[in-house]
Structure 1
Amino acid sequence: MCRKPVGEGAKRVTTERGSVVIWWSLAGNGVRTRLRGVAQPGEPRQTTGRGVAAADTGGLPAKDDLRLLRAFAARYNRCGASPPAARNARMSTAFRDDAGSLPFRPAGAAAWLRDCLLAERDRWPLWLPVLLGLGVAGYFWSPWEPPPWLGAAAALVLLAGFPALRHRGGLRLLLLGSLAVALGLAAAQLRSAVVAAPVLERSWGPAILTAEALASEPQSRGWRLYLRPIEMPGLAPEALPDRLRVTVAGLDSPPEPGSRLTLRAALRPPSPPALPGAFDFARQAYFQGLGGVGFAYGAPRLLAPPETAGGGVWHAWRLWWSDLRQTVTTRIAAQLDGPRGAVAIALITGQRGGIPDAVQAEMRDAGLAHLLAISGLHMGLVAGLLFFFLRAGLALLPGAALYHPIKKWAAVAAAAGAFVYLNLVGASIPAERAFLMVLVVLLAVLLDRRALSLRLVAWAAAVILLLAPESLMTASFQMSFAAVTALIAAYETWQRRRDNYRERYGPLRRLGRYFLGVAATSVIAILATGPFAAFHFQRMALYGLPANLLAVPLTAFWIMPWAVLAVLLMPFGLEGLALVPMGWGIDLLLANAAAVADWPAAVLPVPPMPDWGLGVMVVAGLWLCLWQRPWRWAAVPLLVIGALSPLGFEPPSLLVSGDGRQVGLRDPEARLWVPSQRGSRFVLDTWTRHGFVAQTLTWPQLGAAAKGRLSCDPLGCLYRDGPVSAAILLDPRAAEDDCAAAQVVVSLEPLRRQPCSGPVAVIDRFDLWGAGAHAVWLDPQGPRVQSVAGQQGARPWSPFPQRRSAWKSGEAQ
């Protein structure tokens, strides 16, 4: 069977009047056409019109068909490039209107846009997860909780409209996109309703907690236990949270998953953001089923072994993997100690809690933090190593290699190994995405197909968004898919040239091109994930490229192969043979990170990026990666606009923590003045990053600071920023004077019994309890106040609506 019956790079177009063949000039001379029965390309022929071959039409109405072909060619030419060669396409009667005339009108902005969209119709499915994500983002960005039926009802209404638009292709396509948005909204609403569980309304304990151990995670000092509460004094059974997270300091070995225990603990609800717009741990905990977090006083006491604990098949499945993860962690820690052991545990089991903060900071500053988070690199290496070595081993057996599909056998074994690794690391969102992609690639091996494409990424993203829509709001999801999408888009662009290099050059030059590929991969990944790093962490590692040139090959060719071998040897008690050389590679990796992090200006602090800036960069980045024709470069100006959006950042002048224990004043020199630096380091770090603070200082107990803008006495401080002033009351006795002198008054104690009616804004202990942390901008036109409750809205994971309701009903204590 001839694979190219009409010549290299040809396209066959089918109309209601006959078959027409179009071939594309690879020399850039435009589009040439012929009808069925005409000589092959390269044979003598006459031409009529510009670039159109005259032919014996065989009774077909050539005039109309040639007019259709000219319009079809113009559709691509107006987009600036010809479509890829050797790809089948069909032109149906949808390109004609009801009167039989062509829909291609004279050039114009709308016509050009329509033509380019039609030229890229094979890329339309790539936008499905984007539309799903738009519906998910609409749910999470909404300031109020939508009616639970809204998403499903919208999807049903849109689905019912399809039959009525079966002859209107454009409207039907628009309806399909709207349906995807509605499905994203419905998935987010359904997920929010399914994971709903009781959450502690206020602090609990110290008291005796009876619980079942679910999982454990090593920490630098002790263990973090995940527990299912069985009895909590003062709480009814129906008010018990599904899961609790308790840190036990000084614990040598954790309890076995499934065992029942008691311990004395102090718990509190999951913390809301430390300031408006910061990381929302309460939302993350809501979707993880965490109803409370805290710490224990002393070690837990075992009540019953795992055999006596019940719970169902799914519960038993999770406990089995938790026990295996804990066993593997203990075996690794017995062979490797210190930071190398903690990193080995993170790479094999996905538990990073035991890595010292200093080591994590060095890896982050060197641009190597991605090596510690289980993602596509690790999943691909595990599956690839299993596939390569199993296939190589079977190839040594003549009987198997000659008469059996050993390549497919290796693919099945690699998929099984990837599934084991997925569950061993806890099935995080990046790991799930990587597993889905690896699974499809291995499935393509079984079907003798090639599967590395953006459609694979789109399929994985759509599945994750439908099953776990809350992952869209996490940095791991955003950075993971951004890097993979950009890398595969670049791979598709350079695929043909890379194949030529592979055939043309020898082993040494190919090795050099491998390191060049690692460098290019690092640059693309840094550019793709940079906006999200700036948005979530307000910092960028400047020397990620040289650090990754050593770290990525070291991880791929030394560390991870020994890690896979160590897991395979654990059933025989021989894991030490592989863990020791793995530790040598980890030592070199950590030394590389420490050296690069110590370089001058290794980290660039950046102002917080606004939501609209990130949105513009996401849309522009997707436009650039998902389309293939030159019109995609129209996204470059939008990328520049989004990258410059942090320049418009206006930092708040006054910050107050939600618990009322910390308050900070930021002066124009980017210095943060606080009463004491002994408070929560997490809150101060969040204020430093989101406030773009250069230095944190302690304000004087008596006297002036900040170039005379700040004056303090034992009762409080007064800060002046131009015509606007703010007073911070450390003692309510200063309320009378400060309320008369300042436009903004902040009191760390309640002021309800001492009315303060003069200032524009008054924030006291009751306001902090009912609305969370506050940020204040001292604008010349008047102060602006934002609270966490106002930014969160009335959402299921926000504790403030319940607090305000209890306050109004008189039930608050």
Structure 2
Amino acid sequence: MTAAGWPEEEADDPPALSGRWRRLLVRVWGRLAAWAGSEGERWVLWLPVSFGAGVSLYFGLRQEPVWWGGLAAVGGAAVLLLAVRRWFALAGAAMALLMAAAGFLVAQAHTVRMAAPVLTRSIAGATVTGRVMAVERRPGAVRITLREATVSRLAPEQTPAALRIRLSDRNPAPAPGSVVRLRAALLPPQAPAEPGAFDFQRRAWFMGLGGTGFATGAVEQVEAPPITGWSTVSIAFERARGAIAERVAAAIGNPVEASVTTALLNGEEFGIPEATLDDFRNSGLAHLLSISGLHVGIAAGILFYVVRALLAAVPYIALRWPIKKIAALFGILSALAYTLLVGAPLPTVRSVLMTGMVMGAIMLDRHPLSMRLVAFAGLVTIAMDPEGMLGPSFQMSFAAVVALIAAFERGSVRLAEWRRDAGWLVRGLFYVGGILLTSVVATLATLPFSLFHFQQIAFYGVLSNLIAIPITSFWVMPWSLIAYALLPFGLEAPALIAMNWGDRAVIWTAEFFGRLPWASLTVPAMPVEGFAALVAGGLWLCIWTRRWRWLGMLPILAGLTSPMLVARPDVLVSGDGAVAAVRLPDGRLSASVKSGGRVTETWRERDGARTAADPWPAAGGWSDGERSLSCDALGCLYRVRGRTLALPRLPDALDEDCGAADAVVTPAVARGCRAGIVVDRWALRHEGAHTLTVTEEGVRVETVRGLRGDRPWTGGR
């Protein structure tokens, strides 16, 4: 074999090549082989990336693959790997292919495992009985999750495994574990508001959630069999979260401050007012409200140092027992307990894996921070919840950690040399600089994901984190651990009050920076292709260590500019036809109704618009030459780039509109309509939400079903 891993016979020069070209090819191949060899320890980091690519491939399909598709892919890749195992380069490519096939298979198996009945139609006035598994306290309402449910108008085999129902807060919320009966209006999980928008149907499928709804009557508690199995543990922690919320509310009078303190203690963000959440988002501090790596790491680290200090204070133990390793074990246990208490969201699970491996490395006398550690944690997390990999929580948490460790690898040695002989003042400056650098790196790393999922950039995130993170690390989290220790004895009030002083400072920081001019910028939705380029470029930049890693900046720049290359649609129609919107000359959307709920809010966010335009007029309209809207009692006509789109309000207008318009959009049934494009009740029911974009060639139509296809969670199979 050659040094590059190819067999000797393949290394021979083809006879057709001249000596000059032969030398050039040998030189180029040798340089590439040298580069590849210099990154030898980093190649393994691409295996979790390949695994995730296989998961993405599965979810990107428009049709569900045959049941044996994943198995066949894994088997074929394994055979290929065995066939080329003697050649290093080919074996590496085959291994990456095998990992991609394994990711595809795991995602497919997870879909089958989570299969459960899902509502396909709305049900009004149903009597629902079920066990309360979760209680979410929200401003003005309570939301409960029911399992073991029965629905009066559904057969057992059609009844979802879990239902989420909204209750009024006028009555006390039912206790977790109790069985309740209520009258409710039930709805299927909501489809995307437009093609490419967040797919709650898919998320609900993997949550085991078969429907949502709201109660239309009082909640009645009924006799129930005892709780058994894992549900006992789950309900116990749910009750603990409720008890913590009540204790915090009793100790802290201000509801806003109490809600933030509760979120940090038990993971419940639902009670925080929307205005406060907006301040945290605009200031770049929203991650402090979501229990993630920062909180788990601080909690485990504090307990690690406290236990180690206490054991070191006893000479007999300190001289005979491995106190550092014992403290690391306590750190692992604290991370596990904290995760269970806050409900084990995906970022926290990732953090527990990371924390467990860091503490495990300490127990094994290994270096605790490495990119391989992150790769292993990512692989395990994706395997546990493949669909969760597509969400912002997983992506943003891993992006921040990968970028921070990559930065640590680049500069840790030099910074350690500078810090070794520094005095206390310089060490303090190093600490401040470390927080600043951490904030900059984490902000830049999570920026692409914030743009893709939320269409938002927080400009003052670095400054706000420079203030809020030290307060959280050195004041809020230590007092939270003290409060945990005192809760069983009912003595937690002083610790909660002290903790709230820090929370108050964090809230003030969020309000100050979140309300400054240009605190945040909203941008149009990024196309999937641009997002994929950003992710690929970021991985290339962080995984490699040589100068060629900077080539990753090219796809990053391409991804960042991609939103400017995609035109937003001129007309949008909701999946039920109840709401439509047209684009104004200033780029904003004007909806057919004054308040379209979450649908119009999603449209506005994906437009990158901060404010909503006035709805369509009852009569009259506007015109700027290229675009015009004219309305009367029967409906509206929208003209753009020489095309006419009819938007009738009443069926009586269909005959005239169908004969004159290029496209007709109506929530009614438009049988026999002669227009070139017809979006009516049947089209909406079959295809979901529609968008219409007028170009020089004509009117381009995109639909939710056309983009995501027919999958188990869409009801198309």
TM-score category by the smaller chain? over 0.9
Find the aligned partners of 1:697 and 1:553 in 2 and give their Cα distance. 44
Is residue 154 from structure 1 mapped to residue 77 from structure 2 by the alignment?
Answer: no
1:97 aligns with 2:8: yes
Q: Is the 8 A contact 2:296 2:348 kept in 1?
A: yes
- Give, in whole Å, the separation in 2 of the partners of 1:193 and 1:532: 29
Classify the secondary structure of the residue corresponding to 2:593.
coil
Shift of residue 101, structure 1, vs aligned partner: 9.2
Give runs of aligned pairs for residues 372-411 of structure 1, distance below 5 A.
372-411=289-328
Select which of 455, 467, 472 maps to 2:372.
455
Superposed, which structure 2 residues align to 1:82-231 within 5 Å?
97=8, 109-231=28-150
Q: Of residues 574, 584, 595 in structure 1, which corresponds to 2:501?
A: 584
**Alignment partner of 2:362 out of 439, 445, 460:** 445
For the 8 Å contact 2:126–2:186, the answer to whether it is kept is no
Matched with 1:597 is 514
Do 1:725 and 1:743's aligned partners in 2 also have CA atoms closer than 8 Å?
yes
Partner of 1:422: 339
Amino acid across the alignment from 2:45:
L
How far is the alpha carbon of 1:695 from its aligned partner?
Answer: 4.2
Aligned CA distance change for structure 1 residues 248 and 404 (closer, same or farther; 3 Å):
same
User: Contact (CA 8 Å) 1:746, 1:762: kept in 2 or not?
Assistant: yes
Deviation at 1:403, TM superposition (A): 2.1
Give the Cα–Cα distance (whole angstroms) in 2 for the partners of residues 417 and 181 of structure 1: 35
Tell me the residue number matched to 2:232: 316
Partners of 2:61 and 2:300 lie apart in 1 by 40
Return the alpha-carbon distance in structure 2 between the equivalents of residues 104 and 453 of structure 1. Answer: 40
Residue 653 of structure 1 pairs with residue 570 of structure 2:
yes
Matched with 2:414 is 497
**For residues 176 and 422 of structure 1, what CA distance do their matches in structure 2 show?**
34
For each residue in 1:334-386, what CA deviation from the matched residue of structure 2 results, as whole angstroms up to 9, or x when unmatched? 22241111111111111111111010001000010011111110110010011
8 Å CA contact 2:126, 2:153 repeated in 1: no
1:699 touches 1:705 (CA, 8 Å); kept in 2?
no
2:550 alignment partner in structure 1:
633
Q: Is the contact between residue 652 and residue 691 of structure 1 (CA under 8 Å) also seen in structure 2? A: no
Q: CA deviation at 1:449?
A: 1.4
Cα distance between partner residues in 2 of 1:165 and 1:613: 34
Q: Give distance in 2, aligned partners of 1:373 and 1:550.
A: 18
Mapped pair 1:612 → 2:529: yes
Match of 1:773 among 686, 689, 695: 689
**2:707 is the alignment partner of 1:791:** yes
Post-superposition Cα deviations, 1:508-533, rounded to whole Å, max 9, x if no partner, equal: 21111111111111111111111111
The separation in 2 between residues aligned to 1:243 and 1:400, in whole angstroms, is: 51
CA distance in 1, matches of 2:545, 2:492: 48
Alignment pair present for 1:363 and 2:274: no
How far did 1:394 drift?
1.7
Paired with 1:389 and 1:712, the residues of 2 have a C-alpha distance of 71
Q: Secondary structure at the match of 1:379?
A: helix
C-alpha change, 1:253 and 1:492, in structure 2 (3 Å) is: farther
Q: Which residue is equivalent to 1:37?
A: none
Structure 1 unmatched runs, 5+: 1-15, 17-67, 76-93, 803-813
Distance apart, 1:491 and its partner CA = 0.4
- 1:657-707 CA-to-partner distances (Å, cap 9, x unmatched) read 112111100124212122322231x11111112234464122221112143
1:327-726 matched pairs, under 5 angstroms: 327-337=243-253, 338-680=255-597, 682-693=598-609, 695-707=612-624, 709-726=628-645
Contact 1:209 1:229 in 2 (8 A): no
SS at match of 1:290: coil
How far apart are 1:535 and its partner, in Å?
Answer: 0.8
Local SS of the residue matching 1:129: helix
Deviation at 1:160, TM superposition (A): 2.9
Asked if the contact 1:724–1:780 (Cα under 8 Å) also holds between the matched residues in 2, the reply is no
State the Cα deviation string for residues 416-444 of structure 1 (Å, max 9, x = none). Answer: 11100111111111001100000001111
Distance 1:701 1:581, change over 3 A: same
- CA distance 1:104–1:639, change in 2 (3 Å): farther
- C-alpha distance in 1 between matches for 2:24 and 2:70: 38
SS of residue matched to 1:228: strand
What TM-score comes out, normalization by structure 2 length?
0.95
Q: Which amino acid aligns with 1:452?
A: L
CA–CA separation in structure 2 for the residues paired with 1:652 and 1:101: 56
1:409 to partner: Cα distance: 1.3
Q: Share of identical aligned residues, percent? A: 41
> Is the CA contact (8 Å cut-off) linking 1:223 and 1:251 kept in structure 2?
no
Q: Which shows bigger deviation, 101-110 or 127-136?
A: 101-110
Per-residue Cα deviation, 1:506-563 (whole angstroms, up to 9, x for no partner): 1221111111111111111111111111111111111111111101111111111111
2 CA distance for matches of 1:495 and 1:728?
Answer: 62
Bigger CA radius of gyration: 1
Aligned with 1:281 (options 178, 191, 200): 200
Contact 2:670 2:678 in 1 (8 A): no
More helix by share: 2
Where 2:152 maps in the other structure, the secondary structure is coil
Match of 1:27 in 2: none
Contact 1:660 1:768 in 2 (8 A): yes
Structure 2 counterpart of 1:703, one-letter code: G
| C-alpha separation in 2, matches of 1:704 and 1:101 | 76
Deviation for aligned residue 1:291: 0.3
Alpha-carbon distance in structure 1 between the residues aligned to 2:23 and 2:378: 35
Secondary structure (helix, strand or coil) at the match of 1:130 reads: helix
Measured against aligned partners, the alpha-carbon deviations of 1:52-103 in whole angstroms (never above 9, x if no partner) come to xxxxxxxxxxxxxxxx9xxx8xx9xxxxxxxxxxxxxxxxxx5883699999
Q: Separation in 2 of the partners of 1:109 and 1:655?
A: 53
Matched position secondary structure for 1:171 = helix
Q: Distance in 2 between matches of 1:715 and 1:166?
A: 71
Amino acid at match of 1:433: R
TM value normalised by structure 1? 0.84
Q: CA deviation at 1:474?
A: 0.3
| Distance of 2:218 and 2:428 partners within structure 1 | 54
CA distance in 1, matches of 2:372, 2:9: 34
Tell me, in whole angstroms, the C-alpha distance in 1 between the residues paired with 2:141 and 2:480: 24
Residue among 211, 214, 236 paired with 1:295: 214
Structure of greater relative contact order (alpha carbons < 8 Å, 6+ residues apart)? 2
Q: Which range moves more in the overlay, 322-331 or 106-115?
A: 106-115
Residue 261 of structure 1 aligns to a residue in which SS? strand
Change (3 A) 1:452 1:491: same
In structure 2, relative to structure 1, the CA distance for the partners of 1:251 and 1:126 (3 Å cut) is: farther
How many residues matched? Answer: 705
Match of 2:648 among 726, 729, 733: 729
CA distance in 2, matches of 1:100, 1:605: 54
Instruction: Check if 1:270 corresponds to 2:181.
Output: no
* Stretch moving more, 150-159 or 448-457: 150-159
Alpha-carbon distance, 1:165 to partner? 2.7
The one-character-per-residue Cα deviations of 1:251-300 (angstroms, maximum 9, x if unpaired) are: 55432222211111111000010111101111100000000111113442
- Tell me the CA shift for residue 769 of structure 1: 1.8
Is the CA contact (8 Å cut-off) linking 1:261 and 1:302 kept in structure 2? yes
